[in-house]
Amino acid sequence: MSDLATLTATQLLAGYAAGDFTPLDATRAALARAEAAQPVLNAFVRINHEEALQQAEASTERWHRGAPEGLLDGVPVTVKDILLQRGVPTLKGSWSVAEQQDWREDAPSVARVREHGAVLLARTTTPEFGWKGVTDSPRHGATGNPYDPARTSGGSSGGGAAAVAVGAGPLSLGTDAGGSVRIPASFSGIFALKPTYGRVPMYPASAFGTLAHVGPMSRDAADSALLLDVISGADARDWSQLGPVRGSFRDGLDEGVAGLRVAYSPTLGGQVDVAPQVAASVRRAVDRLTALGARVEEVDPDLPDPVEAFHTLWFSGAARITEDFTAEQRESMDPRLRAVCEEGARASALDYLAAVDVRMALGKRMGDFHQTYDLLVTPTMPLTAFEKGLEVPAGSAPPRWTSWTPFTYPFNLTQQPACSLPCGVDSDGLPIGVQLVGARHADALVLRAAHALYGAGAADIPDPPELTLAGS
């Protein structure tokens, strides 16, 4: 029997169907990885050991009867501690959230994976309210990188990325309002997709408004297509959700990239200083697209940096979260988040609307761009993972996380689908990610191109070192 913790969800489901192993076997393997990695990485707020085994036993019985329930029956899934999960607290990395509440509701994405028979393995770490691009919080501490625990896993879905990387379940539910599934995917060597806004229903609505997306995190693009099939199901609680999907995101996944018009922008027109090893790895991935038949041009989308508009929208959202906090609650917050909230509270309605105007112009610019190009390719991150516990790399002058994430947050403003997949490692063995961006609603195309790169070996990187898996 293969090491079940290393298999994709697709491989697990095939094994269940063939009778090679059971959901109980796979869940035990994933729990062993989670419990071994937790003292080293701190990727989990809660490991649902007994509940997961009970769910896996029920799934095993269904498979024995030849009656699996849904598309994910028996697949271990982890859930970011931002998304509501019935029966367990959602603490959001903050001491301001009381644990003793009536946790009776699932977020839409959690409800869908539950309905499809998934095993809800663990709750993953997040910075306080998911506010930044690394994962540390006053309540739960810092999360380490599976390739070097002294470095950050990225954020804000850093716990989910670490979980997938070490084999603690092949699928994870994350959120992304400025890069929060793509940043940790790049740093931790996994795949993640920020779908088109509204494709995955969200409830409660994020304080970051229509910047915030729920997205799948997985070992490869095919697994994220499977998970997106599940979580894109309708939910009446989200008034901004998109209409029903026709067919499956797995349909046409193997059609390749031949003939696609691809724009490769290595630095967004010289705006971004990209580490040489990152640039070289991304270029090799782009060369793979060319070899697969895509028509690649090195061209920039001519995007002015929208960081000030993004800050206005982002900081205002953070201020809204904490608007009614007591002095004691504010004192318990991450001091850097407290500073962001104070800045956001000073923004006026006119400031906010001016930022929306910038956003609309950016969206039009990218809409026009995709009339010519099917995909835009960039590095996901201009650097590899830095020391954990820091908002910005040591020695960096700009104080905010947006200073080192210039390739991710613009596409939250435009609501476009964007994914990150690994394309190499640097000389320290740290993963490097390449980002594929599609026009709004072109989620299937983004997944198809990423799947082609996986098939061509572009995403083949070493597994995390054994240190994080000690005892598994």
Q: Is 80 a catalytic residue?
A: yes
| Interval 287-344: pLDDT, tens | 999 999 999 999 999 999 999 999 999 999 999 999 999 999 999 999 999 999 999 9
The packing angle between helices 9-18 and 221-231, to 10°, is: 80
Q: Is 180 a catalytic residue?
A: yes
**Residue type at 393 in one-letter notation:** P
What does pLDDT average to over the chain? 96
- Report how far residue 217's alpha carbon sits from residue 286's, in angstroms, rounded to the nearest whole number: 22
pLDDT at res. 2: 52
**Catalytic hit among 59, 94, 156, 224:** 156
Once rounded to an integer, what is the mean pLDDT over residues 440-456?
Answer: 98
Options 3.40.30.10, 3.40.50.2300, 3.90.1300.10, 3.40.50.300; CATH of 27-469: 3.90.1300.10
**Ramachandran region, residue 132 (left: φ > 0; alpha: ψ -120 to 50; beta: rest):** beta
**Catalytic hit among 80, 92, 132, 194:** 80
Burial profile 290-303: b = 16 or more Cβ within 10 angstroms, e = fewer: eebebebeeebbeb
**Ramachandran region, residue 470 (left: φ > 0; alpha: ψ -120 to 50; beta: rest):** beta
Alpha helices in 189-321 (DSSP H): 221-231, 276-291, 307-321
Once rounded to an integer, what is the mean pLDDT over residues 441-448?
Answer: 98
pLDDT at res. 32: 96
Least confident stretch, 121-125, 198-202, 206-210, 353-357: 206-210
- Report how far residue 234's alpha carbon sits from residue 409's, in angstroms, rounded to the nearest whole number: 26
pLDDT at res. 286: 98
**Catalytic hit among 59, 109, 180, 281:** 180
The candidate with the shortest Cα–Cα distance to 127, out of 142, 112, 111, is 142
Residues contacting 19, CB < 8 A, separation 6+: none
Q: What share of residues in the chain are helix, strand, coil (percent, to 5)?
A: 40, 15, 45
Once rounded to an integer, what is the mean pLDDT over residues 58-78?
Answer: 98
pLDDT at res. 466: 77
Query: Cα–Cα distances in Å, from 40 out to 144, 232, 432?
Result: 7, 34, 22
CA 281 to chain CA centroid, nearest Å? 21
User: How many other C-beta atoms can be found within 10 angstroms of the C-beta atom of residue 98?
Assistant: 8
| Interval 168-210: pLDDT, tens | 999 999 999 999 999 999 999 999 999 999 999 999 999 999 9
- Sorting pLDDT into bands at 50, 70 and 90, what band is 421? very high
User: pTM to 2 decimals?
Assistant: 0.97
- Rg of the chain taking only CA atoms, in angstroms: 21
- Sorting pLDDT into bands at 50, 70 and 90, what band is 471? very low
Query: Cα–Cα distances in Å, from 391 out to 115, 158, 177, 320, 322?
Result: 37, 13, 16, 21, 20
**Residue type at 36 in one-letter notation:** A
Tell me the residue length of the chain.
472
pLDDT at res. 472: 40
| Interval 24-62: pLDDT, tens | 999 999 999 999 999 999 999 999 999 999 999 999 999
Q: With 50 as the cut, is the pLDDT of residue 1 above it?
A: no
pLDDT at res. 42: 98
The DSSP bridge partners found for residue 85 are 88
